[in-house]
A = this chain, B = another copy of it.
Amino acid sequence: MADTTIHICVTCRAAEDPLEAEQGRAGARLHKAVADLAAARGAPVRVVGVECLSVCKRPCTVGFAAPGKWTYVYGDFPAETGADTILAGALLYAEAGDGLIPWKQRPDALKKGVVARTPPLAPASSPVPPLAEAAE
């Protein structure tokens, strides 16, 4: 499970945020909240700040990634209250061998907030990987 990374866009800006002062932006606040929560709970995840996930219309944006798994990007997280849901979702992602959290287990914020997903890269020796199950 320790290979799960939570990417958090630190440049995501809430409507009331000033254009300058990126350290105070919603994304930066969310990044700190998730990192603090993960540390306090000893969660086996890495929390990594990223300068722009290119989902600027749906702040705050985060992603889950791990070697060999599908990568997911989610938006619409509130900076002040999103950390719990994000960490819980990342732990479910960590438990899912391919990164696909079973639909019934997914928090509503992950069902509604999905922005995109991409499959793991196939080994170079495999020209066409098998199609995976459709997203739900």
Interface size class of A (residues with CB under 8 A): 35 or more
* A116 surroundings in chain B (CB, below 8 A): 53-55, 61, 63, 73, 115-116
Chain B residue with Cβ nearest A73? B116
Q: With the chains together, A24 CA to B33 CA distance in Å?
A: 46
* A3 surroundings in chain B (CB, below 8 A): 124
Chain B residue with Cβ nearest A75? B116
Q: Separation in Å of the A124 CB from the closest CB of chain B?
A: 7
Q: With the chains together, A133 CA to B51 CA distance in Å?
A: 6
Q: Answer whether residue A46 sits at the interface, using C-beta atoms and an 8 A cutoff.
A: yes
Chain B residue with Cβ nearest A72? B54
Known: A55-B115, A118-B63. A50 touches B5 (CB 8 A): no
Q: Answer whether residue A128 sits at the interface, using C-beta atoms and an 8 A cutoff.
A: yes
B11 near A134: Cβ-Cβ < 8 Å: yes
**Nearest 10 A/B pairs, CB to CB:** A52-B135, A73-B116, A52-B134, A54-B135, A54-B117, A51-B134, A51-B131, A116-B116, A54-B114, A63-B118
